[in-house]
Structure 1
Amino acid sequence: MMNPDFSASRACAQFASSLQYQDIPDQVIDFVKRDLLDWLGCAIGGSASPASRPIKSVSLLLGGVRQAEVIGLSSQNVVTSAACNAYFGHILEMDDVDKESISHPATVVMPAALAVGAWNASSGKDVITSIVAGFEVMLR
């Protein structure tokens, strides 16, 4: 019988907030670096596609404080940056797929981690830790 006090959301939040870079296996760090390059290639290609025009137009209309980079555009606020880069990463449908969850974690997690990392001037290790936490939470 399941504990009635258990909260999956709380468990995920506790995991993500307590994860430390040094706790992540080297093999996972290598995977994340490889997956980041894969996603970035897809996002660069997607940003050059005519299919990217709608999100680019919305991004420029929304404007805001420049906090994080958008591929192929000027910097935007952290939310718009993450949204645009996620959109770009999914255009070509060549990004990663987790077969069990039938999801594309890189195009969801990486743009958010990179945008927040840029906004907070985070280290590369902090961004990788955020990506690992994001993947774990999304895939569970």
Structure 2
Amino acid sequence: MQIVVTLDCVDTEAQAGFWLAALAPLDYRRGFDGPPYLSLVGPAPAPTLLLQQVPEPKQGKNRMHLDLDLGAEDLAGEAARLERIGARTLSCEQHERGFRWIVLADPEGNEFCVFATPPGGVPMK
């Protein structure tokens, strides 16, 4: 069994560059590349991120988004790293039930979050 998360994008190459840099702490790499698809794969059992080229730019809010635990306790520092590679921060750090997160957008405007689990808490998996 495998989970593949598909992300529509106008420029798959540019998005691959961003997402590979964003996911570097999780050891993602390029996988299948056959237009209109380009896959980014992590170590098993990590889901595959499939970039699908579409002609239209993103419009409106995502109905689904990625939540990334990149192992950073300093979420502001992680958001700054992501901004340096092309992300845009959409919210300040938020807290709920011990979880902390920051909402960002990739270079094409797709929302995602970086988060940290509560100290000593149960990870999401």
Q: Same fold judged by TM-score > 0.5?
A: no
TM-score computed with the length of structure 1 as normaliser: 0.24
TM-score computed with the length of structure 2 as normaliser: 0.26
Name which structure has the greater RCO, CA cutoff 8 Å, separation 6+. Answer: 1
Q: When you count helix as a share of all residues, which structure comes out higher? A: 1
Higher-Rg structure is 1
